[in-house]
Amino acid sequence: MAAKEKKRTFWNFADSFEGDKVVWIIVLLLVLISIVCMFSSSSRLLRDGMTRLDLVKSQLLVVLAGLGVIIVLYNIKNIGFFRWFSKWGFLLSFVLLGLLDAHVSLPFIKAVNINNAWRILTIAGFQVHVFEVVKVAMVLYLAWAMDALKQGKIRWPEQLFWKKACYLYLPFLLIFVMIIPGSNSSALIIGLLMYVMILLGGGNFKDMAILGAAGIAAIAIIFGLYSATKSKEHPWFERIGTGISRVFEDKDWERQAVDSPRGTIAWQEAIDAIRQPYSAKIAVKQGGLLGKGPGQSTQRYVVPDMSEDYMYSFIIEEYGLVGGLMVIFLYVSLLARGSIIARNCGNDHYAKLTVAGLCLLITGQAFLHMFVNADIGPMTGQTLPLISHGTSAFLCFSVAFGIILSFSRIATRRIERETRAAAPLVEMHETAAVEDRLGDLDAFESGQIENDLTDNGYDL
């Protein structure tokens, strides 16, 4: 009689998902945290008569769109599709950054200046955070380029050095320099990410030395251009001045706030300078072990970017150290699972680099966000992946997770094939010998062997 078909339950449905189930759990937990936190994280997001329920509905739509992107990419079984798409990552980044740096203003596409920084393109009414797109696109491109160079698939130019110059060195420098006008921190983060990608891809000492020297030279030239034009109304690379002031500023804003009479310009200037980092630390301190509880945050009324740049301090304020540690655990788990997936991608160099690069991108940005919230280092404006508010950033990280899950699916199938092909621990022809040994064990336990030995003259 044929075996009865298993009754369809939730758990059977969950078992039907291929790929790394731990990554699936991480994704679902992060988006659930995002929805819960968005309900009470910032009143600044409420406008035009919106209620907090409207805010949750809006975030829920973004989450559903992100999950849709993840599921679509997860269901793409052909790794060749990702490989083909990845080779256009540099061109996509170059075009978007070019439009941003040119401050394009056309009916259907327009560069937007927010807080004296050019970071966003409005395309047909939809805001695209260009740097978030570039992060993912350049990870994919460098994974493709390193794999293509290793496999000898790039035929022009003929010399290996010029191949690396055209496909690695030049894209690295161009993207790094083009990001600086909009954000020093993003330029350093993306530049470091690209550098690590090339190192993971097999870059030798010469490659890394050339890239490092080229990056330092580019920074020196940009700093020189800024220094030569900073007296003008619109100096070149104006964001360099902002970065220098954040890193090397030695002004004691706290002392100025204490010493200046309340309500004066000097007092207000000092309060504005310390409001966000100090309020974030206050939120962490007041959170304690278990937090104030959902919706009980008070610092959300002080920090305007609580739902974006300071989301982690908000989580600790409302959910305490326990909630903060849970978020850390999720990102660390992703990094651990990513290393397992990369190891099980077989000899596919491209898949290994892609998974490793995307996991490093997500976890690296998450911990950088946490460091800023703890006031370790200057403010960078990096969001908490898949939790912080921001549609384009959420969708970009959804693309990253979708690709990781798709490649984990490939890795899982490879593991299953290798398991089936592996030799059994006990060969079939040894079955009889094993049965004999088991028979001897039964005889010993029953006392039969002891009696036989005694009858034959052995002293037990």
Model confidence over 139-158: pLDDT tens digits?
Answer: 999 999 999 988 888 888 88
CA nearest to 191, candidates 215, 224, 160? 215
Mean predicted confidence (pLDDT) in 439-460 = 50
Res. 73: pLDDT tops 90: yes
Element (H, E) at 102: none
CA distances from 442 to 206, 433, 439, 455 (A): 67, 14, 5, 19
> For 309, phi and psi rounded to 5 degrees?
-75, -20
Mean of pLDDT over the chain: 79
CA nearest to 301, candidates 40, 93, 108? 40
User: What is residue 433's predicted lDDT score, i.e. its pLDDT?
Assistant: 53
User: What is residue 114's predicted lDDT score, i.e. its pLDDT?
Assistant: 75
3-class DSSP state of 73: helix
Identify how many contiguous H helices and E strands the chain contains and give both numbers.
Answer: 18, 3
Res. 279: pLDDT tops 70: yes
User: What is residue 458's predicted lDDT score, i.e. its pLDDT?
Assistant: 42
Name the pLDDT band for 442 (thresholds 50, 70, 90).
low
> Which of 421 and 25 is assigned the larger pLDDT?
25
> Which of 42 and 228 is assigned the larger pLDDT?
228
Mean predicted confidence (pLDDT) in 134-138 = 94
**255-269 per-position pLDDT tens digit:** 777 778 787 887 777
Mean predicted confidence (pLDDT) in 169-177 = 91
> Which of 279 and 162 is assigned the larger pLDDT?
162
CA separation for the pair 65, 84 (Å, rounded): 24
